[in-house]
Chains A and B, each alone.
Chain A
Amino acid sequence: MAESAVMGSGSLNAGNRSGSSKTSTSPLENYQLARRRTLQVVVSSLLTECGFDSAEKAAVETLTEMMQSYITEVGRSAKANCEHTARSTPTLSDVVITLVEMGFNVDTLPLYAKRSQRMVITAPPVTNAPVVPKALMAGQKRTHPAHIPSHFPEFPDPHTYIKTPTFREPVSDYQIVREKAASQRRDVERALTRFMAKTGETQCLFKDDTSTFPLIAAHPNSIPYLSALLPSELELQMLEETDSSEQDDQTDTENNPSNIMQDDSGGDKENAVLPPGGGVPAGKVNEENMIDNPYLRPVKKPKVRRKK
């Protein structure tokens, strides 16, 4: 109800000001115009009832507007009352309360309805309720699943929640993909290295030109073998992606020696009692703990008599 009222007011200007353009209006607009016309007829008949012979168009319009507002407000308020009591459809009492709240004496209503000079107006022309615009129909409107009572609000329009494929058809041409990936990587690398070169020390191949082929200066490293031997973070990351299980295994066993180093003789006995674990890594740990390797033995305390 509220929507239609807004719609109505929205179309008010357009509809009346430019009557000539009616032909081009949409079915929705037609529907609203028809409603409004009925209201105008009502207003006009009420005026006639009150004894007016004629009225200015503007006055009729204003009254129509007021009427519409009033009815809209009654509707909106009734719905609010109804929802307040956790219902979805307004009942008579909702309307009554609304009217009371709006300062209307409800008792006078039956009398007014039964007044003698009441004019009967013809029913508004049958206009079909406007079909919901197709554009909004995205996917199947979902009905409530079984566990939701039917009185609950319906699902909103599907377009509000379903995934809407907005991208274009993906570029599936392998060549272009590779091309893009390659040039992207190259651009990134180039930009990055140029940036590094710009911000740091450089070496050059041409004495006169330091900018065309800037080389990041070579700096000696105090422990050069580390960076040269250990895989870079990027490589490690890739390795994780390609084969995560292997990596896990590695980190797993990595911790073992240090564990062993820490727990000394006591740990041995404990582990010896333990049955050999089912899993391979567990078994390994066990084994290693039982190893009698001189380098894993604890360092002895000096004997007092030991003298150099």
Chain B
Amino acid sequence: MNRKKDKGFESPRPYKLTHQVVCINNINFQRKSVIGYVELTIFPTVVNLNRIKLNSKQCRIYRVRVNDLEAPFIYNDPTLEVCHHESKQRNLNYFSSAYTAAVSAVDPDAGNGELSIKVPSELWKQGDEMKVLKVYIEFSLDQPKGGLHFVVPDVEGSMAERAAHVFSFGNQNSTRFWFPCVDSYSELCTWKLEFTVDASMVAVSCGDLVETVYTHDMRKKTYHYMLPIPTAAPNISLAVGPFEILVDPYMHEVTHFCLPQLLPLLKHTMSFLHEIFEFYEEILTCRYPYSCFKTVFVDESYVQLSSYASMSIFSTNLLHSGMIIDQTPLSRRFLAQALAQQFFGCFISRMSWADEWVLKGISGYIYGLYLKKTFGVNEYRHWIREELDRIVEYELKMGGVLLHPTFSGGKEKDNPTPHLHFSIKHPHTLSWEYYKMFQCKAHLVMRLIENRISMEFMLQVFNKLLSLASTASSQKYQSHMWSQMLVSTSGFLKSISNVSGKDIGPLIKQWVDQSGVVKFFGSFAFNRKRNVLELEIRQDYTSSGTQKYVGPIKVTVQELDGSFNHTLQIEENSLKHDIPCHSKSRRNKKKKIPLMNGEEVDMDLSAMDADSPLLWIRIDPDMSILRKVEFEQADFMWQYQLRYERDVVAQEESILALEKFPTPDSRRALTDILEQDQCFYKVRMQGCFCLAKIANSMASTWMGPPAMKSLFTRMFCCKSCPNIVKTNNFINFQSYFLQKTMPVAMALLRDVQNLCPKDVLNFILDLIKYNDNRKNKFSDNYYRAELIDALTNSLTPAISINNEVRTVDNLNADVRLILEEITRFLNMEKLLPSYRNTITVSCLRAIRMLQRNGHIPSDPSLFKSYAQYGHFVDVRIAALEAVVDYTRVERCSDELQWLLDLVQNDPVHYIRHKILSMLAKNPPFTKAAESSLCNEALVDQLWKLMNSGTSHDWRLRCDAVNLYYALFGLTRPSCLPLPELGLVLNLKEKKAVLNPTIKPEPGSGGPEVTANMTFTSTLEEEQHVVIEPALSGVAMAPQGLKRKAETPLGSSPEPGQIMQEEPIVKLSVKGRFPGTQEEEDIDMDTVHDSQAFIYHHLNMLERPSTPGKEPSSVEQAILSMPGTPMPLLSKESLSSKHGDHHHHHHHHHHEHKKKKKKHKHKHKHKHKHESKDRDSHAFSNSPASGRSIRSPSMSD
């Protein structure tokens, strides 16, 4: 937050971390548990450092020692349960702000953390001398739900034989999920990592493998890693499994790892990695910063690739053999991205979240350069256009994407993106899709900067950043150089201005500090008298996601005499621009026409307007503005542009435009492009679909065979028998892609009855029938899959009479043929599975289409069986997509429930994420429409899901938020009944009154409303009532008031967390004084903390059984268990007739209790601690499992 300062980096923490040891000495695959310890070496930067805040989630912490002295600690994570169950609030506004506040409360970039350790007072003296402190934390993880993922296939044999493996994962800084650390990208330190694993396993982690040593029993071995380059904790990772090892034949310091049996694939996939290395090192004129690099391919990966210091973890599904065409470029792209992130993202980290765009931008930009070099300029420009279209589409739909958000005061009022239903203040509150778009925009903006300052300067800037960082990395901590390894927006901009001497301020202001894209509308008229082109460019800067653009814009005009670039100034009020034309002559007599690239071509000029010398006009041809251009020009101009403009972007634009001109001329132009093998294949592929659309618009006047049929025949069928396709030979990739695409596009053709022409269907069936891959050196699985897709595309809705039940007998004859093929394909796939099961995927989609069009009975059971865990992930996604679609169409609550159950229980994180995002994309109902699905139970279920059910996975929680938004919008779901008049507890006056403030739609209210402490009763919510007679509300009063201002926070502890009970008392009285030196108590920084902490005790969420230390008997008595409604109602209870209970009682009660029992606790726990330390794993859940047990472990 304080990054605006130019003078280096100021840590939000009162200490500096210099070195961290992570030692995991036991990984149990059977139990999916991990035991280990960490040791952080820190330098206090303040006198009297008495408290250290660290990040830790999910870990069960056994003991904390500071310089060998036992230290008390508090564990408090408000993100576990964002809003508390007392709340009747069900609107997203409320949730989002509460969630943001919760994340802030533990944000390491603000110096916060879940774990608060009290430095023993003996050491305070040392603090004066700024001596090193060593913080030693023993922890374990049991069945982690986030951070580490165990894959343990259910087969016979040892773990190694079963290919069991475990790896770390997470969205952004998520290392806290698997070991306590300062989980910030800006806190760098050196690392020593030790992992003891089974002798048959390999542990791959960051840094250099120093040695591998057997344990004494020779059954395990310990991998010792050293990472001397200062690295942030989020960039630390681990992968353990029975990996096969491949040393890169070109670069011996690079090692690749894959799961057993996949080595041949690994070899092939990695065979070109050295080229990427060479490329980056060359353009950056900088060696790869780490001394080694490791790639690990794992199953059930969280994302396709994740980069960490000196290693990357990939999905195993990127591996492919040499027979596979389609996957090859994709996998190479992922590898190139991963490597780019090694330089920018891992080696160079960021100062704050607001600087993320620089890293993503640079890594995305150099990755783009790699694309350009490897796949060619056409591919690169095509990709840029695609990315531009994506971001434009997203911003216009969802509102702007802001690269560099600044938060002046952290107040909600200053929210820079009010149009979003989530906060962009933290990476963990972002919707996944937004983040993807953010990355996309970041690299596009980098490209804009390149356009401005030239690539040479750009690369110099990168080089400068890297060389500064590498100088810094070799320094000792004491030199205070490490912050050079952190990039900040201002530092980056300064670098640019130093290197290039150019002022890119306006550009940054426009695209980085502001959100939105530009929307241009262009049209023109040719003034013959003046020989001037009158161009009008209008802008829409009022709709959401747009912004106004002022500045230069390039316009390219292709005239008869050549192509001319003009730079116009877009100004506030000028819409019209006069551009003088160069071509004097009305028509050149038989002269060749020079193009932009110097080429001269013959054109048939008969189509053009005799009076005008203009062939075509392009606005912003270089895509140097993030914009959408809707330009009007005559159809023949688009046709000329398609045929003769050599830029693929121009060609694609004209193809898009030609859809609106279904004429024989357009048809001819497109057909010519399709046939021209010099034309970029992706343009030709796009042309296919455009041609299909044009043909459909022209259905009544269409002459000759169906579009593309004769073309396909000519290109791909035998000369002697034109109805039979040649045996496959995919050696020419361009024609391979065209061959794949054409049938798919053809199947979209419709005749005047809006049916797919019989000719076309038969043609596709013949293609399937005569497909022969025996002589092909490549696999045809993608081709066959696309043929099935073509069949799917040919489907049209069935004509149903009286909603008759679909049976085999009344099946349409064509459909019968299609079904026959699909059945055969799907069955063959069981015997001879195709690569990535592409054929099954296509078949499932086809079957769903058949169902949706009413040809066969709609039934989700088939899809549900394919969606089971144990099928290949692509197949599962396809099946789930079908179920999602079924849910929407049939409005089936069972299926929705089934999906939501899967979201909570599926072992694969990616699947959970996909289900939610597919549901959000294709929601079973929306806010606008009435639906029987929309009911209170669902609202509560979803609320619970995002409130507490997804606390282990930031991404999933945001997905749940997205879904909630898609279903209910920002305000209170309409299906909820009017809240009953709630009780308002006036704590000061100790009486409850009926709350008059609750309104059915407190949309605007958000947290403010709730701050009134309104509690209404809900039947659905489980009530856990703890009442003790000695309630006193007085102590609590200030607390409640404070809560009004801040957002209520709180959390339920995760399984395995240990809570500290003590501190509340002081806190509630004294409020927050970070530096207070209370003798015995650990005070907390913010009200958030304290409130959250209090709410722990009130948390009644159902949770899986939680192993932990035995709670004190007192606690057990206090805490009631979920699912066991045992309301210990006291006479003072204010519980309503529904049996729920007011929360403040808990507060009071606890406060009270603790005050009294404090000393007692201490002793008790100390003993326990010592005796059970060693075997704490066995401390199983209290009989009252279902809620986590917190055991104070203060032992000083």
Contacts and interface: CB of A to CB of B under 8 A. Distances in A.
A and B physically associate: yes
Interface of A: 174-175, 178-179, 181-183, 186, 189-190, 192-193, 196-197, 203, 205-209, 212-232, 234-235, 238-239, 241-243, 246, 250, 253-254, 257, 261, 284, 287-288, 291-297, 299-303, 306, 308
24 contacts: A178-B718, A193-B823, A193-B827, A196-B827, A196-B831, A205-B847, A205-B856, A206-B807, A207-B859, A215-B862, A220-B869, A223-B153, A227-B872, A229-B262, A229-B317, A229-B836, A230-B262, A230-B265, A254-B264, A257-B244, A257-B247, A294-B209, A295-B245, A306-B213
Contacts of A243: 777
Contacts of B874: 228
Interface in B287-322: 292, 299, 316-317, 319-322
Given A220-B871, A229-B319, 13 more contacts: A178-B721, A209-B807, A220-B869, A220-B870, A222-B162, A223-B163, A223-B299, A230-B265, A231-B323, A234-B832, A296-B245, A299-B213, A299-B214
B1180 interface: no
B1159 interface: no
B695 to A, nearest CB: 29
Given A227-B833, A239-B323, A288-B247, A300 B213 contact: yes
A243 B729 CA distance: 13
Interface string B149-184: 000011100000011000000000000000000000
Interface in B827-863: 827-828, 830-837, 847, 850, 856-857, 859, 861-862
B866 interface: yes
A226 B779 contact: no
Per CB-CB distance, the 7 closest pairs between chain A and chain B, nearest first, are A220-B870, A193-B827, A294-B209, A175-B721, A228-B872, A209-B808, A222-B153
A292 B208 CA distance: 13
B826 interface: yes
B4 interface: no
A230 B874 CA distance: 15
Interface in B789-842: 806-808, 819-820, 823-824, 826-828, 830-837
Interface string B241-278: 00011110100110100010111110100000000000
B252 A225 contact: no
A206 B247 contact: no
Contacts of B824: 186, 189-190, 193
Given A196-B831, A222-B155, A175 B209 contact: no
B221 interface: yes
Given A205-B856, A225-B872, A227-B833, A213 B819 contact: yes
Interface stretch (B603-611, B617-625, B768-776, B940-948): B768-776
Contact of B322 (A214, A238, A246, A294): A246
Contacts of B262: 226, 229-230
Interface in B696-724: 718, 720-721, 724
Nearest to A231: B321
A223 B155 contact: yes
A229 B835 contact: yes
Nearest to A204: B862
A217 B865 CA distance: 8
B267 A250 contact: yes
Nearest to B870: A220
Interface string B755-794: 0000000000000011011111101000000000000000
Contacts of A239: 323, 777
Interface residues of B, number: 90
B216 interface: yes
Given A186-B769, A212-B808, A215-B823, A228 B835 contact: yes
B252 A197 contact: no
A296 B254 CA distance: 12
B1130 interface: no
B249 A287 contact: yes
Nearest to A303: B213
Contacts of B255: 293, 295
A175 B264 contact: no
Given A206-B806, A222-B155, A224-B872, A178 B724 contact: yes
B830 A302 contact: no
Contacts of B317: 225, 228-229
Given A225-B316, A229-B319, A238-B774, A189 B828 contact: yes
B45 interface: no
Given A225-B872, A230-B265, A254-B263, A288 B720 contact: no
A257 B319 CA distance: 19
A174 B721 contact: yes
B408 to A, nearest CB: 49
A215 B827 CA distance: 6
B249 A288 contact: yes
Nearest to B316: A225
B823 A293 contact: no
Nearest to B781: A235
Contacts of A181: 772
B831 A192 contact: yes
Contacts of A294: 208-212, 292
Interface hub of A225, A238, A297 (most chain B Cβ within 10 A): A225
A235 B316 contact: no
B323 A175 contact: no
B490 interface: no
A248 B354 CA distance: 53
B543 interface: no
Given A189-B824, A206-B808, A293 B247 contact: yes
Contacts of B826: 215-216
A181 B725 CA distance: 13
A174 B725 CA distance: 12
Contacts of A178: 718, 721, 724, 770, 772
A221 B770 contact: no
A193 B210 CA distance: 54
A89 to B, nearest CB: 60
A205 B819 contact: yes
A300 B872 contact: no
B718 A182 contact: no
B985 to A, nearest CB: 52
Contacts of A192: 831
A261 B255 CA distance: 14
Nearest to A290: B252
A205 B322 CA distance: 36
Contacts of A229: 262, 265, 316-317, 319-320, 835-836
A254 to B, nearest CB: 6
A142 B284 CA distance: 80
B1012 interface: no
A258 to B, nearest CB: 9
B25 interface: yes
B995 interface: no
Contacts of A225: 259, 299, 316-317, 872
Contacts of B211: 294, 297, 300
Contacts of B769: 182-183, 186
Contact of B212 (A174, A179, A300, A308): A300
Nearest to B865: A218
B212 A196 contact: no
B8 to A, nearest CB: 35
B807 A208 contact: yes
B202 interface: yes
Interface hub of B245, B253, B319 (most chain A Cβ within 10 A): B245
Contacts of B866: 218
B1039 interface: no
B221 A299 contact: yes
Contacts of B807: 206, 208-209
A221 B216 CA distance: 37
A253 B827 contact: no
B20 to A, nearest CB: 18
B215 interface: yes
Given A206-B807, A229-B835, A303-B213, A193 B322 contact: no
